[in-house]
Amino acid sequence: MSLSRSEEMHRLTENVYKTIMEQFNPSLRNFIAMGKNYEKALAGVTYAAKGYFDALVKMGELASESQGSKELGKTLKCGRDPRSP
């Protein structure tokens, strides 16, 4: 039995698609896995940056309440030592 020209073209086309998909799928899976890893890493960096920012805010709040920072603020406002008469 011989294949018609269109059946032969169909078979060849299917073989080409099959070959492409066999070669493409592993790369696509790898690309998706890398994207997921990137997303996890980005989430970790975001979490760490938020922790760092929160710590800086807390240090700033504590520093603004200290006696030394109050005296420094008075000195900067007045342009002189607040302890001097």
Q: What is the pLDDT of residue 20?
A: 82
pTM score: 0.49
Residue 84 lies in a domain: no
Is the pLDDT confidence value at 1 over 60?
A: no
Residue 12 lies in a domain: yes
Q: Which domain holds residue 27?
A: 5-78
DSSP 15-82: HHHHHHHHHHHHHHHHHHHHHHHHHHHHHHHHHHHHHHHHHHHHHHHHHHHSHHHHHHHHHHHHSS-T
Over residues 2-60, the pLDDT tens digits come to 668 888 999 999 998 888 888 888 888 888 899 999 999 999 999 999 999 999 888 88
Q: What is the pLDDT of residue 84?
A: 59
Number of domains in the chain: 1
